Amino acid sequence: MSVQEKLQKRIQSISEYVEKNGRSHLAVCSSAPSFGWDADEWHHRHAMMEAWRKRGYQVSSKTNHGVLDINIIKPITLT
């Protein structure tokens, strides 16, 4: 499986979870291989966040102790 296919599968899986539960998150880290993190998710984190934005989700992120936490939220309409 190529990197692109692997990441597309991950994006789709998380998107399905967000559709069902309203939100999800993904944690990625620059020291990926050393501590069991997925290096491909780290290297392509910006493309992954953009893919979720293009699907209409709200995406935010913050870094804490070298770990980037990405939050993906299904938008709601309040009136």
pLDDT digits (tens, 9 = 90+) for 7-61: 999 999 999 999 999 999 999 998 766 677 899 999 999 999 999 999 999 999 9
Is residue 4 predicted with pLDDT exceeding 90?
yes
Cβ-based neighbour number of residue 56 at 10 Å: 9
pLDDT at 33: 67
Dist CA 1 CA 76 (whole Å):
35
Domains delineated in the chain? 3-73 (3.30.1370.180)
For tokens 């559709």, name the residue.
19
pLDDT at 44: 96
